Structure 1
Amino acid sequence: MTPPSPKTSLGHIRVLDLTRVLAGPWCAQNLADLGADVIKVERPGAGDDTRSWGPPYLRDQDGNDTTEAAYYLAANRGKRSITLDISSPEGQQIVRDLVLHCDVVLENYKVGQLKKYGLDYESLRAIRPDLVFCSVTGFGQDGPYAHRPGYDFIIQGMGGFMSITGERDDLPGGGPQKAGIAISDLMTGMYASIAVLAALTHRDRTGEGQYIDMALLDVQVAMMANMATNFLSSGNAPVRWGNAHPNIVPYQTFATADGHIIVAVGNDGQYRKFVNAGGRPDLADDPRFATNPERVRNRDLLVPLLAHMVKARTKQEWIDQLEQAGVPCGPINRLDEVFDNPQVQARGMKLALPHPAAGQVNLVRSPMRMSATPPRHDMPPPMLGQHTDEVLAELLGQDAQQIAALRAKGVV
């Protein structure tokens, strides 16, 4: 194990991570970034489902695919991997023994599944009363949907996100649209991270552990933010506006000669600067478009004129000119352009770590910047079972013969 730096926030915390796929591993990765010793428990021979969610896969030093899918790499840096069959009595006992050395347990099994193994919160807190135990499920531990499996795509639809995401229904391509990433999974992982840290703070003050019940649907409803309160305040359900804004015009994307840009005009003065930059001052003098309320009323007349104006120049020409004029704007970058961006490079968001199979793995660093206890970036996503012998010896005192016997029985 690479010892955590004494300057990390959570170098005194150990996490037993029984999660897989994305929401739970994202939480565990946040805790690992902050210095926690995260022990990832995986199925012997298979591991986390996302290890095989490719291509693309990480390539070895000869350019051949390894068994590590890029999806898995995104959510598992900074952890140690052990393989363990928790359906076996021996595997269940190893989990109990490890819990005695851990502060936090994360799990995302189906409701009630861990109870069958004697590994649920009530069973484990009997041996570790100050344990922080976090369950991540689709719908939570109670309610009529509790026993349903939860998938991010379905949750985005059920939780209202897709009702406000996508092009307007009356335009070509209109209709509901999911996000390009699994936002309910990721946000659940973020909320779970906050809840775990809050529970650890409470434990430090009182000595009391606790149970955390995180549900993807709860998180999706909560993250609707102002759209949810718009509905709760008015009784009117918001609708899809695509890349436009329901109350401000122009505040949307436009196609240029070689790509797309975002123009976010916030007031009438910025609007005049925008059309002046495009050689169309008449569009600011026209009373139908002179003020934002009139532009909103006449959106369908104005936007095609602006689209024609913007199409005449390249993306970079528009960005240079609008930035000089003080009009809020920005590009819509592909990911190759993101990582070529000088600001992204200056902030060091691309992270290269040594890897036992590939020599090096390229990842995205944690965005958390902390002056006294910065995140650690010294351990790549582990190979399947890479640390099994190490963890069993270090924490449970098992010798090579004992571990070999467990391996022969398929327990590890």
Structure 2
Amino acid sequence: MKKSTASLAQCVILLAICLPSANAQGVEKSFAAFTSCTGSFFKAMEAEAVAWRAHTGIASNAGVSWIKTADRSATSGNVAELKGKPVVAGVTLTHYLDESSNLGAGGLYYYWGFKAEGTVERVAEQLKPLIFHSSRLRKDKDVFVRTEVKASDGRWTAVATQSGSAPGFLSTERAFLIEPDADIPNTVKVLCSLQGDITAEVLLSTRPDISSSDHPKRLNPNLFEETAPNDQAQNAILAAIAGKPDWKPKFKRVTYDTTYKLVEIVSSEDGLVNVKESYSRFKVQRQMAAGLLQLKSRMNTNQAVNVTDQLTVELPPNFDISQTLKFKQTSNYQPLAIDSQPMTYGLTCEVNSTISASKIFASLVGDAVLFNCIDDESKKSDGKAFLRDLGIFIEYTPETLTLLLTTVPAKPKYRRFDVER
């Protein structure tokens, strides 16, 4: 039987009403999955791909879908505009962003999420019914945030992490946050983040949209030994200590520990020393001269070596009071990260006095020349002692009197100091 023209018109009207409604529901459903900051978002995107294609380009693979951006590592290519500006829980979404960066010792960072119209407070309130574990969302200055840390057993544990601090490679952190967009008025970013020690395994479960070819490489335990020092910097150090026996090591091995670290220093025939520092949660390797002038270093959780590539050194002609030691260095990470920037560091150290090294630790012999060192950039001062019998610097600030006439103990406190000649 032939349907009437009126019936066909009714069907067309119903489709016009129902399809946008279904699309809106699909977008909102997958947005709710996004707020968990897990791989479930990308599975939900696959299920609701039709709804999202009405607003932006979608890519799919192996049961997951994601919004395409040109390049997550480039600030100009990590944002995709959302056509038609979909609305979720009354909040208008304008863009999707996908960003990654390598901060060297600061760790790896991955951000993904949306830009939305409104203020932080209004957006947080309206999205609350959709936000996973919204009861854990807390206000931190001008940001709403929910944070977790990956425990040693692999589980994500709710922890209120400290804002403004980079985890480095000491921990793996995940966060959901709502923050102001510094570039666009009346706009906020609704984001998920992974930061710190981000491995391929973490990305596989949380960011299945990222190709395995873009996963971070595993740490090479021998990277420090395999990375050569810079010739210019090494030659500058060797020239500075040439013919100056005071500045060369007079031991095979020195081992000491303080209240917060264990240090092993091994001398080499070229007059340099190799230093290993063990802290409670990480270790550091260094190649240095006199325990102060650094050629290269690496934290054991870092995927790169900090290599000094420019160095100027001025050693004092003697250890009389007011004589100065100066050095300035520029370093870069090797292998060089895309967004890595050169780092500069310099000290000016002035001789304050000379004491018996036994005042620092009873078994030490000879003189300890006390220096006050000032950071060229921050202008912060720090005490160091040069042990002439060994030819190395150590940290040391002698006892001082405060304005309240109470004694401040010398620091750090050395608990053991073993010397192998």
**Which is richer in helix?**
1
**Which is richer in strand?**
2
TM-score bracket relative to the smaller structure: under 0.3
Which gives a bigger RCO, structure 1 or 2 (Cα 8 Å, sep 6+)?
1
